Structure 1
Amino acid sequence: MVSTPFSCKIGGRCRFKKAQVEIRTFARNRSQAVAMPEEAKGKKEGETKDVEMKDATEEEKKDTKKEKEEPPKSPRTILLEAIAQNLKTIATGVTAGDPRVMGRVLRSFAQLRRTMEPEVLKALLEEFVDPARPNKAQFIAAVPPADVEMADAKEEKPKEVEIKFPQLSKPYAPELEAYAVLSLVVKLSDKSEKEKSLETASALVLFLKTLNRRTMDFFNARAYFYLSLAYERCGRLSEIRPELLAAYRSACLRHDQMGQATLLNLLLRNYLAYNLYDQALKLVSKTSFPESRPNMQYARYLFYIGQIKAVQLEYSDSHSKLMQAIRKAPQTPSVALGFKLAASKLAIVVELLMGGIPERSFFMQKELKEPLRPYYAITQAVRSGDLHAFKECTKTYEALFKKDKTLTLINRLRYNVIKTGLRSISLAYSKISLQDICTKLGLESPQDAAGVVAKAVVDGVIDATIDYDQQFVKSNQKLDLYHSCEPQKALHKRIAFCLQMHNDAVKAMAYPDENDNKDAEDPEEKREREKRELANIEEEDGGDDDMII
């Protein structure tokens, strides 16, 4: 009887707990069942949204197809847009008094000179040359005719685009007139119109002499460049030397650094064309190249200095200057090929005169492989010490070496070939007769061989003694190279080269202007713009005549 109530209490509690659990599970299932239709609706709405997005992307694709189907711009339209942009840039630079923008305009000639049309050039001259200028009719008459192109009869002729220029404030600034006349000078120079180019460039220089404006400095330097080029093509380069000297003095007084760099290079080119190396060396010693120099002009300056140093027997300095010129030249294979070829030829000969041998990869460059073949043959003859091969190679390519102005330096290599042959003979024989040396080196007599060996011993090329009584040469025991100063000299040479490269890199660093931070330009857009500018720099410089040799 006592156990009954206790068991009933326990059973009631268990049933109560079971009921609570069942109520909770029922409520949970009910809530899930109610939520299921809403989720299904959400999925249907998501599917409709995806369909709408797909429709939107299809419409965007159709729009892009329509844009792609639009006809491309005609060459004249592109030309007029480029000229309009240049004219606006010049007008803005004149208003702001900023001469730096003129350099950007002049670099654009690399693109415009290939697409310039006579009709557009005539319209440019008629619009921006002052009607009071007596040479205006002469400028318009000097415009070269268009090239005749054979076109198929089936091809439709493109519609002619009306020639219009931007509306600028009148009277026009003289920089606009200088731009128009300089465009004519460039076109005449490309067409090899010697006399017309000379007359037009002379008239442009006379017009620029009447002005003393810093915004004209770039036009002034380029005008003198084409004037000197026209005199050179006419075979009258010496006549313009006093004019260039006077212009250089004026540029120094006006602190015209672009004019100083250009005119100094023109004077050096003038002296070297007539083999006046002493006068060129005096000019270099009395002048200094401006620090804020254009890269192309500095490369030309280094080339001319290397050429002068090579003739003056300063081979180490010459080789250093020539290698700097090659590194500062545009690295695009098809750009400034003539400059790189001339500098490479001279650098090869100078390195051979120094006693070194250029690396094989230097001759294996795709664009320079064929023009450097004669110099590769000379290098092989010097490397092997074969005097017969050296004489044959010199005789075969004598006309080419005269044209390159390296024949005098190559004739100096004869003693280097003999030294190389003597060094190999000294290593191979401990004792050899003078007659055998004469036979191996291709010398005329044993007396000549004795003189050559004696000079090589004095110069330290070989370590040997000559027995004149028995007519033989005995090589002394060779000491260890690391007991000499040669490793230290080689290390010093490499350290000097690395330091020079570091200094050049520091000088070439460009810092942003203070006003750049004020512009509200997006950083990503700024990066993309800088990438495009860097990609176009070498293309713009590629057509630049600054690299003419």
Structure 2
Amino acid sequence: MQALNRRSMDPIAAKIWFAVERMYELGGELADARPLFLAAQRSASLRHDDETQASLINRLLRNYVHYNLYDQADKLVSKTTFPASASNPQFARYHYYLGRIKAVQLNYSEAHTNLQQAIRRAPQPKTAPGFYQAVHKIFIVVELLMGEIPERSLFRHPVLEKALVAYFDIVKAVRTGSLSQFQSTLSKHAAQFEADKTYTLIVRLRQNVIKTGIRRLSLSYSRISLRDICLKLHLDSEEDAEYIVGKAIRDGVIEGRIVHDKGWMECGTQKDGYGPEVSDVFARRIGFCLELHNESIKAMRYPLNAHRKELAAAEGAREREKELAKEIQGGELDEDMGGDF
């Protein structure tokens, strides 16, 4: 395979390199195979073997991600160009590794986009259930880090239902804003999260859980002490509660202010559906709709007295027909026609 440069060996070589990488991984010597894969990737790039080059790039990215070498993986992505003619499975793997790299680098929007592409390009769930589950695990965590809650129907998928039980518990903890529930769920499923290499990302969700809890407290109380916030959110101290609340107010998560002298937080008045501002906006919208209705009716009107012109034209046509009938009966028209001939 390395000695001969034949175009027909490109797809075969891609599968052989996959088997070689799997053999090194099962033997626990994946790091030793890295120089071999780098040399093969350079050769495939010079020979323009697209399928082999795509497979080797994915092998190298898997190698780096396996040892948490995300900086080197990002450099490899920036220095290489993934072949556009590669197959969909290779593209799915490539987008999956890109999503993991971007998620670790705190670039959640690009990670979300890459993981969506991996899901779309992946084979059918029953054909490749392992890959389908792995992509959705990191996809759910990235959505939570972006402040979104995944759809409940996702956890009812036949292929994903059992594999995503731990992640469903995390989603429930983030949605309710219960820090104690989040910590208990994290400790309960820590072994699975470590095996899935999502533990470090899930730990980042602690701030999202605290923000959700503070938002719920701001809606429930008009004034609450920092000590009560510390007890309800299970924080370490009142200083931590004050810092977190201040950051939430600065980021616009809640409306309110901290009274340092008295040691409480005053929540801003929540806007309801009443008041002069709401009435003015509602009146402007009603006026706009009425004006649009009147203009539509005016546009549908016919020209003024247009029907009278039509009636006059019809009456004139009837008069001409009567005169023509009289002339025919009197024989005047026939004589004129005979004289012309």
TM bucket, shorter chain: 0.7 to 0.9
Question: Which residue of 1 is the match for residue 144 of structure 2?
Answer: 352
Question: Which residue of 1 is the match for residue 248 of structure 2?
Answer: 456
Secondary structure of the 2:68 match is: coil
Partner Cα separation in structure 2 for residue 284 and residue 475 of structure 1:
47
Secondary structure of the 1:474 match is: strand
Percent identity of paired positions between Structure 1 and Structure 2 = 54
Pairing partner for 1:276 from 47, 69, 74? 69
Over the residues paired in the alignment, what is the CA RMSD in angstroms?
1.5
Q: Indicate yes or no: 2:28 matched with 1:259.
A: no
Deviation at 1:458, TM superposition (A): 2.0
Question: Which residue of 2 is the match for residue 286 of structure 1?
Answer: 79
Partner Cα separation in structure 1 for residue 43 and residue 244 of structure 2:
54
Q: Indicate yes or no: 2:155 matched with 1:363.
A: yes
Partner Cα separation in structure 1 for residue 81 and residue 267 of structure 2:
50
Deviation at 1:280, TM superposition (A): 0.2
Question: Which residue of 1 is the match for residue 100 of structure 2?
Answer: 307
Aligned AA (1:423): R
Deviation at 1:445, TM superposition (A): 1.8
Q: Indicate yes or no: 2:211 matched with 1:419.
A: yes
1:498-534 per-position Cα deviation (integer Å, ceiling 9, x unaligned): xxxxxxxxxxxxxxxxxxxxxxxxxxxxxxxxxxxxx
Instruction: Specify every segment of 5 or more residues in structure 1 that has no aligned partner in the other structure, as ranges.
Output: 1-207, 484-549
Pairing partner for 1:388 from 176, 180, 185? 180
Deviation at 1:334, TM superposition (A): 1.6
Cα contact 2:133–2:159 (8 A) shared by 1: no
Deviation at 1:361, TM superposition (A): 0.4
Cα contact 2:17–2:56 (8 A) shared by 1: yes
Question: Which residue of 2 is the match for residue 210 of structure 1?
Answer: 3
Question: Which residue of 2 is the match for residue 373 of structure 1?
Answer: 165
Pairing partner for 2:198 from 398, 406, 412? 406
Q: Indicate yes or no: 2:27 matched with 1:220.
A: no
Aligned AA (1:256): D
How many equivalent residue pairs? 274
Question: Which residue of 1 is the match for residue 338 of structure 2?
Answer: none
Secondary structure of the 1:394 match is: helix
Aligned AA (2:178): D
Alignment of 1:50-449 (within 5 A): 208-331=1-124, 333-449=125-241
Secondary structure of the 1:432 match is: strand
Deviation at 1:479, TM superposition (A): 5.8
Larger relative contact order (C-alpha < 8 A, sep ≥ 6)? 1
Partner Cα separation in structure 2 for residue 328 and residue 425 of structure 1:
43
Normalised TM-score (structure 1): 0.49
Deviation at 1:271, TM superposition (A): 0.5
1:376-424 per-position Cα deviation (integer Å, ceiling 9, x unaligned): 0000000000011101101111111000000001111111100000011
Aligned AA (1:209): Q
Aligned AA (1:381): A
Kindly tell me: are residues 428 and 252 of structure 1, through their superposed partners in 2, closer, same or farther at Cα, counting changes over 3 Å? same
Alignment of 1:481-500 (within 5 A): none
Instruction: Extract structure 1 runs of 4+ deviating beyond 6 A.
Output: none
Partner Cα separation in structure 2 for residue 282 and residue 413 of structure 1:
27
1:111-154 per-position Cα deviation (integer Å, ceiling 9, x unaligned): xxxxxxxxxxxxxxxxxxxxxxxxxxxxxxxxxxxxxxxxxxxx
Deviation at 1:478, TM superposition (A): 4.2
Secondary structure of the 1:465 match is: strand
Deviation at 1:477, TM superposition (A): 3.1
Deviation at 1:326, TM superposition (A): 1.1
Deviation at 1:459, TM superposition (A): 2.0
Cα contact 2:100–2:138 (8 A) shared by 1: yes
Secondary structure of the 2:266 match is: strand
Partner Cα separation in structure 2 for residue 239 and residue 383 of structure 1:
44
Select the structure of larger CA radius of gyration: 1
Partner Cα separation in structure 1 for residue 66 and residue 83 of structure 2:
23
Partner Cα separation in structure 2 for residue 249 and residue 477 of structure 1:
63
Aligned AA (1:235): G
Partner Cα separation in structure 1 for residue 79 and residue 159 of structure 2:
38
Aligned AA (1:233): L
Deviation at 1:305, TM superposition (A): 0.2
1:411-440 per-position Cα deviation (integer Å, ceiling 9, x unaligned): 111111000000111111121111111111
